[in-house]
Structure 1
């Protein structure tokens, strides 16, 4: 998995205590994988189906890789150029030398500290573009949500951040999420002490705001927090040439792409000028799925203000009608597609296959080394679609702090209590669904 390289002076390195803790986790994970391997061997001898066990083994291997990267980031010298997502002015903000014996203080982000916040995020290898401060204004302007961006400091230097957004509604309640509507979030910290202080402050804030729970969408597990693990991201390493990429995706994908191209589908990459076409496809597909759609205003703001150089990809049939569309953005050398849709009427054209091939080529042509297919539920149809392209599973860990100690909330389409509402929504006219949807979707994280 490709990670954004850390930047900044050597004083920003993690202390040895972090590496020891992660090493312990790695050792435990390796023991689990060895035990699982023995179980798989025994099951094979008995002629049992071991596909599920093999998938568990692959997930453990990926988690090991994730931990190894964190250990390497904690001990390696830090010296690389500023990442592309960081605003140019941010490189002029010199990080302060940290004194380890200074106390850690937690405060809310002040607008004047935004550049320093983004500079710190740019130095963290585990960061995503969603950790950058630009999303705070997008969430407020698009949805009206208050944000509580927590900053940890030693002296005057930032040593940790935690972006939090507060969602409130009659339907779903009052809670904090890092980050809602998006794939990644959670704590970025230089060491375990900073992480613990940020989490403790966030829990207190959750209680003080009268929220029912706190949700952190992270890529590293925490043994002390209840968590959901059914969500995964899918990342595809990109080879050095387009020819190698064409060969890498396999004959079945190549045949389907060629079939789609034979139908005369035409794709283009652009910005706000493609928004109407994108939204028409996206909103129709969301209605067909029975899911309330975001307001078009949200995507207008993403294209205008979001970090990661967001772009739209739109595919049209021979009549010029948009039938497939997506939004992509970058973080370092990784391109991600958080939103993609195809009209069901275009399924026979293999429009979805040409859409993803277009995005992969665009990622390669713009210097990316990894393509992030976005989030899926493990073993769902979208999961298998992405896996067929050769994408590797990146486990996600959604951690929860419950104010009253209750069970983890299930605010998702898989909850049986929403089954009837989803069925009704699928039969709404698209125009009506687009009018009602934004009032509901703003409160669904």
Structure 2
């Protein structure tokens, strides 16, 4: 079993393998290497195992991130929900892990993080602090509507009573999306991605992406980016302006996305990751979405403990409180150089 570093010339072969591999996600596509390198400048180390007959047996996308503030590590895949190993057999998986450990040492990285969906790899240190919320879609929009309880149906109708209007488009809605997203990230105390990142996502995935927006008197007050792959649509980035919370714009946004998914024959709607019973978990649960366990697994030097790069780490509490008080315009300037190093 040979492990080799994949180049841009291997994109077609890489994606062909991903499409037939069990557990593949949108973020295993080779275009995400391009998106991350263009948007953030991080180097991708994409590895593949090939047998003696030249047949691909496994792949592992890795992105190297290094900064004085947040550390030196490799992630599969940063900035998104999923990644990790895809392999046809255990031998290919072991070979990729050995190769990843070699890359870690060569980069001087502290650890490798593998964001596995559903199935972890035996024997690796694992964190199971997150789930993703998946809704199995009904065959028709009417059947899906009838599956909701009365409270949710009322919350979906409510935005119309306040004159909210949904809109589905693409890059022409990016400015409005970003205005809402940047404000929401400031309110959460989180540095915001550069608009360039979202433009690159929409550009590279032009045939599998939309922006879904909700307007009030012409102004976008809620918006999300929808991506699709295989039998699933997801909204990895969505925000709304807190001032309009009582209008329930998020309910209109997600209902439009669900109708879009059903109308185009998708079987699943992915609401994205959550901490069980916290934050957005209950909002997603009310739609009928069920939790699917995520396995974030690590390659670590002997004796090292699992990394703690997360907002609940006490050392970040003060920084979050300060960030929430900054002008949105300032956070749009200084946020991107910071968040490019937070996976």
**Shorter-chain TM-score: which interval?**
over 0.9
Residue by residue, what CA displacement relative to the aligned partner does 1:363-399 show, whole Å, maximum 9, x if unpaired?
A: 1112111100011112212011101111011100000
2:224: which partner in 1? Answer: 326
Residue by residue, what CA displacement relative to the aligned partner does 1:181-220 show, whole Å, maximum 9, x if unpaired?
A: 0111001111000000001110121011100000000021
SS of the aligned residue for 1:364 comes to helix
By how many angstroms is 1:290 displaced?
A: 0.3
Residue by residue, what CA displacement relative to the aligned partner does 1:116-170 show, whole Å, maximum 9, x if unpaired?
A: 1100001013100110100111111100000000011013221110000001111
Q: Does 2:19 match 1:122?
A: yes
1:151: which partner in 2? Answer: 48
By how many angstroms is 1:308 displaced?
A: 6.6
Q: Which has the higher helix share?
A: 1
Q: Does 2:332 match 1:410?
A: no
Larger radius of gyration: 1
2:150: which partner in 1? Answer: 251
Q: Compute the TM-score of the two structures, normalised by the length of structure 1.
A: 0.75
Q: Which has the higher strand share?
A: 2
User: Are the counterparts in 1 of residues 233 and 269 from structure 2 also a CA contact under 8 Å?
Assistant: yes
**Which aligned pairs between 1:13-412 and structure 2 lie closer than 5 A?**
104-155=1-52, 156-219=54-117, 220-306=119-205, 309-317=208-216, 319-412=217-310
By how many angstroms is 1:404 displaced?
A: 4.8
User: Are the counterparts in 1 of residues 64 and 75 from structure 2 also a CA contact under 8 Å?
Assistant: yes
2:317: which partner in 1? Answer: 419
* Structure 2 portions without partners, runs of 5+: none
SS of the aligned residue for 2:280 comes to helix
User: Are the counterparts in 1 of residues 22 and 86 from structure 2 also a CA contact under 8 Å?
Assistant: no
Output the CA distance in 1 between the equivalents of 2:223 and 2:261.
16
Q: Compute the TM-score of the two structures, normalised by the length of structure 2.
A: 0.97
User: Are the counterparts in 2 of residues 174 and 211 from structure 1 also a CA contact under 8 Å?
Assistant: yes
Structure 1 range deviating more: 259-268 or 402-411: 402-411
SS of the aligned residue for 1:292 comes to coil
User: Are the counterparts in 2 of residues 215 and 399 from structure 1 also a CA contact under 8 Å?
Assistant: yes
SS of the aligned residue for 1:164 comes to strand
By how many angstroms is 1:306 displaced?
A: 3.1
Output the CA distance in 2 between the equivalents of 1:316 and 1:378.
31
Over the aligned positions, Cα root-mean-square deviation in angstroms equals: 1.1
